[in-house]
Amino acid sequence: MTTTLDQNPLGQKIALEDTALHINRIHRQYGGLTAVDLDEIRIPRGKLTALIGPNGAGKSTLFNIVTGFDKPDDGSWAFEGTNLAGKQAHTIARLGMIRTFQMTRLISGQTVLENMLLAASRQRGDSLTRAWWHPSWKNEEAENTERARELLGRFKLADKAETDAASLSGGQRRLLEVARALMARPRAILLDEPLAGVNPALREQVMQHLTELRDAGMTILFVEHDMDAVMGLSDHVVCMALGKRIAEGTPQEVASNESVIDAYLGVHTSGNHRSPMPLAVTSRSANSKVPTEPVLRVSSITAGYHPDRPILNGLDATVSAGEVVAVIGANGAGKSTLLKAVAGLVAVGSGDILVEGKSIVKQEVHLRMRNGIGYVPQSNNVFPSLTVMENLRMGGFGHRRHDDAIARVLDMFPHLKELLGTPAGSLSGGQRQSVAMARALVPRPQLLLLDEPSAGLSPMAQSAAFATVADVAESGVSILIVEQNARECLAMSHRGYVLEQGKVALSGSGQSLLTDERVIELYLGAMKTKRANQLMESEKESSEHTTD
Amino acid sequence: MNNTTAGSDKAAMRRTDARTRDRIVAFSYIAGIVAAAVVLAALNPSGPLGFLQAVSDGLRLGLIIAITGMGLSLVFATSGIFNFAHGEFATLGALVAWWLNTALGIPLVLTIVVAIGIGGAAGYGSEHAIWRPLRRRGVSVTSALVVGIGLALAARSVFLFIVGGNSKSYAEYTVQSAISIGGIDLLPKQIVSELLCVAVLAGLGLFLKLTSLGQAIRAVSDDPILASASGIAVNRALSTVWIIGGAMAALGGALLGLFEQVSWEMGNQLLLLIIAGVTLGGLGTVAGAVIGSILVGIVTQVSVLFLPAELKYMTALALLILILLIKPQGILGRKQRVG
Amino acid sequence: MDFASIISDSLRAAISPTAAAYALGAIGLNLQFGYAGLINLGIAGSMAAGAYGLAMVVLSGGPFWAGLLVGLVCAGVFSLLVALPTVRLRADYLAMTTIATAEILRLVLRSSWARPVTGGVNGLQRFADSFYALNPFGVTSYAIGPVIIPGRTLWLMLVAWILVVIVAIGLWAIVKSPWGRTVIAIREDEDLARALGKNTFNVKVQVMVLGGMCTALAGSVLVTDQQNVNPDSFGTALTFVVYAIVIMGGAGRIVSPIVGAVLFWLLLALSDGILRSLADLSALSGGWFGQDQVGAVRYVLVGVSLILVIVFRPQGFFAGRLPHLRKKVTAS
């Protein structure tokens, strides 16, 4: 019997008959943005496969498409031989592919046990005609209840069976989601960030359970950002970036793959960057009357979208006049949340935020914007139905003489001059980025908050965006910049903070962080391989050559 | 290098393609309607002249619907709340105009002006007393709908309480002789009403396009969070929208009273028509609300040529259901999650 | 002010066939809105379908029970037709569509075109005779506590409240079942239900049809009590009152709509009685507060109470579960 061994383009060998989920080709576009653009991928049966990649790589979109929650523009995929394209989500679930979501989803107001029973597969009582007649589904319900209790016991949630599901902690919720998935008698489980929000104590439990499931023969595909978990758990890894697959193989192979490291930390073309201006020269600091007080001081803040699930856990940071400060870190570390907390878009639980010594924690968002802060969000950063000129005017709202201010800003962004009458919604990503930054600069802020200005941009547009940021910095504005492209960002910053789990894990000057090995660890886990070390060496050499 | 420029060019082309596609779709809807109109004009029992008369009457009704419904559309666009009680502003306007006119003998034109002012005040009042506190508490879409229902019920009953159940008429302009233009009968008050509506709508358009407060309102309807993050006082923009919406609806109700009976339940009758109008054209778009409302007005009047008069509102409602099933965002609406 | 008669009137209203009818309507709406989270603003339409179905069958010679069944079927079909294209829509659009379809139905029933069958504006009368022919209580009045009820009304009351109990038990049974779990899951997190293999579209349509059939019974009881089917009594005001009952009673429990309906009519009759007495007093002194005004005030109270309950106690008086009313809409 000959086994068909196909080699996929990256040289990995997975036999067709060992494939649980066979993706032929999937293409998904949102307007001008390519979300997913994949060729053949084979997810092996009975193994733990991790799907990794930086923000915006298309992982969640792929999950949604494969499980029927989103329609691709083109493509086909099959699960255990059954073609899934065009099938509805509930049909795919019934075929045995059970998924979880990025944010834990439970039915609040119902007990944990009831949540489990919801997932039981093929219940007779599901049909309306049989639901009336209790005896027809009584036995099955009893069996399901027993099975549910047994599963809950396995996951150490038995004592929570009768409590409201909403009362579970983050880690317990993730455990419940896995237990619930098992109630559905799946043939494959797709987990979206199963370790997100799980405290370290329960993390080991979740990972243990996944390993045991794999040992029992379950196919598991999971998205994760926790690189230590990925490396420790998975048998097979697929890495995506910008919608495409860029690496695939064993964890070690993928971790040492240069394009993977580049995808996470950004490409840093040495010799092409501009080092930040030395602080003493900037006109702002020469003119400022109170040079001693930092422009921004963040003092031990906790903040988050839900009061009981904080993302920032006692974070401290400062930005001095004229500085460019980078904020980098893995997904979920709290970078965007930090900016939003300063802007006022996220509730701050404890701690303080001071701008030039004055606390702004109680101030409304638009007042902060009028008192010296400018904020450029990552996405949704322009008003699509307003023209470029009108967008800029919104930056000057409430100020007098904003025509002068707008003219001044346009000098900094000359390519916008010919786009003034165009609706912002029809601009490219790079152009929108310019408009958003220009708008934030109209009221002459002291502090500019930039959330991933290079996100979603083509490499050329990214360079242009960074060049613009450098220009803005030279004009004396203090900048707090969050970036995925950590290297490029650090190269042009005076200082940087590396966040982990809502706290500052590392800080230092931009240059020192650029060559600090620990930064890679924080992103990609303790994946120190020879290759990564080699990269570090070449970095050190090039930066020595280009010192100003 | 070439790949990236080609890449961004392709992206730009796709964007233009999408925009052109949207325009073509909107255009084909309108073309389809025009074609249907031509067919109806030819086939209807009253002949082409009767058809044009119906269109003219429909225009009058449609413009009033547009003015009344604009506030509903703007409030939805800026605060995400669909206010089921919006029709009551119209009743308020009509009743104020009627009472001042008949009980105090003030000329109707002046009473209508007063009605507009009271409508604006009522809009401001309801925003501050009811809707802002609700938003601050974080109510769900469903709750907001139910609150609107409760408000409508209460307001309607207050009107019934104060003025009683009979329909009423103004003391002036009740009977006029029609002017005939090209075979179509036009009442002078109709011409005045239509011109007034057009002027108000044009004024609104200019306000939204040219003034900074108007632009801020458009910004808030695009993205309220970005608006506040740009320094816009979102609450002030919202208050303005409510004032404008209430005032315009009051004017619409008062104008409607020139052609139909004034009663405590005028708002209820209008409500469904304005829902049809603004949804047909695209909830949240000003141009859409105008086009949709005029269409609803015309369809309503034209249907009288084919169906018994008492069913004329039915065609408008049927049109609403149809558009909700085919393209819930309306003719000019942008793609947004509707399900 | 004659408190004794006000109180006895209020008690009578609380147990009247009208209260039972509204209880049936509220149970049906509770299934759609309280359990499944579907904001169906067109229940007046399914109530009308039930009522007209009954009357039309009886007037064309059929037995009363057949009329009831046909009414159920009519309402079921109406709800099905409305549900199929609309259950996938978002809350505001679902609300708009359902209110529009109910109004269309009412306009059609009311039209002169339909008069041969539906009686047009005047509606239908004298279809309840066969029902009252079965009345075992005769024409004498009976005393239940302080309340005096004529025999015919007592007969309808008995039948109506028995229906309420049967429907409530039936619904309680299916809500406890796995099907009911799916309905609640649809309200809380429909995507999760789909990810666990539930065909949420089918279930939502079933909920609309089932709820519609409950409201058909409500409509039948209402018109049998008044012995008159009138299209204008099935307008949006009726829907809104049933919503008030469901929300104030506390959606999401089987019993609360029943208690809500009883309390509602009790309070309404109470306030009516007090206000009427005040009106009489005021009329004596040439006042402005006449009998017309009394009718209007009741709805003002309903509307205001509804708003107050939503704002301050969204779970209703009986702490039913309405977590879907707690999700936020927009930030201000």
**pLDDT, tens only, A362-388:** 888 888 888 889 999 988 899 988 999
Do A298 and A234 have their domain in common? no
Model confidence band, residue C317 (pLDDT cutoffs 50, 70, 90): low
ipTM of the shown complex: 0.84
With a pLDDT cut of 90, the percent of chain C lying above it is: 45
* In a domain? residue B321: yes
Chains B and C: how many Cβ contacts under 8 Å? 181
Q: What are the chain A neighbours of B1 within 8 Å (beta carbons)? A: 460
Do B161 and B22 have their domain in common? no
CB contact under 8 A, C177 and A125: yes
pTM of the entire predicted model: 0.85
Q: Examine the pLDDT at A195 and tell me if it is beyond 60.
A: yes
Do B5 and B146 have their domain in common? no
Alpha helices (runs of H) in A246-309, residue ranges in sequence order: 251-255, 258-265, 283-287
CB contact under 8 A, C111 and B311: yes
- Which residues, at least 6 apart from A302, have a Cβ–Cβ distance to it below 8 Å? A310, A312, A313, A314, A315, A348, A349, A350, A351, A502
* In a domain? residue C316: yes
Query: Measured between CB atoms, does B275 come within 8 Å of chain C?
Result: yes
Domain extent for B57: 44-326
- Which residues, at least 6 apart from B96, have a Cβ–Cβ distance to it below 8 Å? B111, B114, B115, B118, B250, B254
The pLDDT of residue C230: 92
Do A437 and A466 have their domain in common? yes
Nearest CA in chain A to C322: A109
Query: Measured between CB atoms, does C315 come within 8 Å of chain A?
Result: no
With a pLDDT cut of 70, the percent of chain C lying above it is: 89
Yes or no: say if A235 and A204 are a contact pair by the CB < 8 Å rule. no
Q: What are the chain C neighbours of A99 within 8 Å (beta carbons)? A: 195
Do B137 and B216 have their domain in common? yes
* In a domain? residue C330: no
Do B26 and B132 have their domain in common? no
Amino acid at A157: L
Q: CA-CA distance, C306 to C302, in Å (whole number)?
A: 6
CB contact under 8 A, B146 and C292: no
Name which of A293, A455, A323, A482 is nearest A380 in CA terms.
A455
CB contact under 8 A, A93 and C189: no
Residue appearing with tokens 């949240």: B284
Yes or no: say if A409 and A441 are a contact pair by the CB < 8 Å rule. yes
Query: Measured between CB atoms, does A29 come within 8 Å of chain B?
Result: yes
Residue appearing with tokens 């008995």: C158
**Subunits adjacent to chain B (3 or more Cβ pairs under 8 Å):** A, C
The pLDDT of residue C314: 65
* In a domain? residue C168: yes
* In a domain? residue A309: yes
Beta strands in chain B (DSSP E): 179-181, 184-186
Q: Among A212, A235, A264, give the residue marking a domain's end.
A: A264
Query: Measured between CB atoms, does A420 come within 8 Å of chain C?
Result: no
Angle at C260 between CA C254 and CA C263, to 5 degrees: 145
Of C85, C100, C327, the CB nearest to B320: C100
Model confidence band, residue A279 (pLDDT cutoffs 50, 70, 90): low
CB contact under 8 A, A126 and C182: yes
Do B30 and B56 have their domain in common? no
Q: Examine the pLDDT at C32 and tell me if it is beyond 70.
A: yes
For residue A34, what are the β-bridge partners?
A: A29
Mean pLDDT is lowest, of A281-295, A491-505, B122-136, for A281-295
Q: How far is CA C252 from CA A193, C319, C322, in A?
A: 33, 9, 7
Q: How many structural domains compose chain B?
A: 2
Of A67, A68, A126, the CB nearest to C179: A126
Q: CA-CA distance, B310 to C115, in Å (whole number)?
A: 12
Mean per-residue pLDDT, A28-33: 77
Q: Examine the pLDDT at C295 and tell me if it is beyond 80.
A: no
Of C111, C314, C329, the CB nearest to B81: C329
Do B49 and B180 have their domain in common? yes
Query: Measured between CB atoms, does A466 come within 8 Å of chain B?
Result: no
Q: CA-CA distance, B107 to A488, in Å (whole number)?
A: 73
pLDDT under 50 in chain B at which residues?
A: 1-7, 337-339
Give which of B84, B149, B234 to mutate to test C binding, by max C Cβ within 10 Å. B149
Q: What are the chain B neighbours of C310 within 8 Å (beta carbons)? A: 139, 143, 146-147, 150
Q: Examine the pLDDT at C288 and tell me if it is beyond 60.
A: yes
**Subunits adjacent to chain A (3 or more Cβ pairs under 8 Å):** B, C
Yes or no: say if C158 and A110 are a contact pair by the CB < 8 Å rule. no
Query: Measured between CB atoms, does A4 come within 8 Å of chain B?
Result: no
Do A370 and A407 have their domain in common? yes
Q: How many CB atoms lie within 10 A of CB C290?
A: 12
CB contact under 8 A, A69 and C191: yes
Domain extent for A159: 107-167
Do A132 and A89 have their domain in common? no
* In a domain? residue C320: yes
**H or E element, residue C55:** helix C43-59
Model confidence band, residue C316 (pLDDT cutoffs 50, 70, 90): low
3-state secondary structure of A245: strand
Mean per-residue pLDDT, A138-148: 92
Q: What are the chain A neighbours of C200 within 8 Å (beta carbons)? A: 90
Q: How far is CA C28 from CA A484, C93, C164, C190, C217, in A?
A: 53, 21, 11, 21, 10
Give which of A92, A112, A126, A306 to mutate to test C binding, by max C Cβ within 10 Å. A126
Domain CATH code at residue B135: 1.10.3470
Do A295 and A419 have their domain in common? yes
Mean pLDDT is lowest, of A480-489, B287-296, C140-149, for C140-149
Paired tokens of B218: 């458009």
* In a domain? residue A129: yes
Domain CATH code at residue C162: 1.10.3470
Nearest-neighbour CA in chain A from C331: distance (Å):
10
CB contact under 8 A, C180 and A137: no
Q: Among A119, A139, A167, give the residue marking a domain's end.
A: A167
Of C178, C185, C321, the CB nearest to A123: C178
Report chain A's mean pLDDT, rounded to a whole number. Answer: 84
pLDDT, tens digit (0-9, with 9 covering 90-100), for C221-268: 999 999 999 999 998 889 988 988 888 887 767 888 999 899 889 888
Query: Measured between CB atoms, does A347 come within 8 Å of chain C?
Result: no
Q: CA-CA distance, C71 to C77, in Å (whole number)?
A: 10
The pLDDT of residue C301: 79
The pLDDT of residue C67: 92
Report chain C's mean pLDDT, rounded to a whole number. Answer: 86
* In a domain? residue A4: no
Do A535 and A437 have their domain in common? yes
Name which of C40, C65, C44 is nearest C54 in CA terms.
C65
Do B30 and B102 have their domain in common? no
The pLDDT of residue B307: 80
Mean per-residue pLDDT, C170-184: 92
Of A101, A109, A128, the CB nearest to C179: A128
Domain CATH code at residue A229: 3.40.50.300
pLDDT, tens digit (0-9, with 9 covering 90-100), for C47-69: 999 999 999 999 988 899 999 99
Query: Measured between CB atoms, does C154 come within 8 Å of chain A?
Result: no
Of B147, B307, B314, the CB nearest to C307: B147
Do B284 and B268 have their domain in common? yes
Mean per-residue pLDDT, A292-310: 84
Do A410 and A524 have their domain in common? yes
Do B118 and B30 have their domain in common? no
Do B5 and B118 have their domain in common? no
Q: How many structural domains compose chain A?
A: 3
The pLDDT of residue B337: 44
Chain C, residues 128-157, CB within 8 A of chain B, namely: none
3-state secondary structure of A478: strand
CB contact under 8 A, C196 and A118: yes
Q: What are the chain A neighbours of C198 within 8 Å (beta carbons)? A: 90, 118, 126
Do B314 and B188 have their domain in common? yes
Nearest-neighbour CA in chain A from B75: distance (Å):
17
Do B105 and B23 have their domain in common? no
For residue A7, what are the β-bridge partners?
A: A13
Q: Among A167, A198, A216, give the residue marking a domain's end.
A: A167
Chain B, residues 148-187, CB within 8 A of chain C, namely: 149-158, 160-161, 164-165
- Residue scoring higher pLDDT (C115 or B20): C115
Mean pLDDT is lowest, of A127-131, A390-394, A540-544, C191-195, for A540-544
Q: What are the chain C neighbours of B142 within 8 Å (beta carbons)? A: 37, 39, 91, 324-325
Query: Measured between CB atoms, does A142 come within 8 Å of chain C?
Result: no
Q: How many structural domains compose chain C?
A: 1
Of C100, C324, C325, the CB nearest to B272: C100
Q: How far is CA A123 from CA A127, B1, B62, C176, C193, in A?
A: 8, 58, 53, 14, 14
Q: What are the chain C neighbours of B311 within 8 Å (beta carbons)? A: 107-108, 111, 113
DSSP tag of B129: I
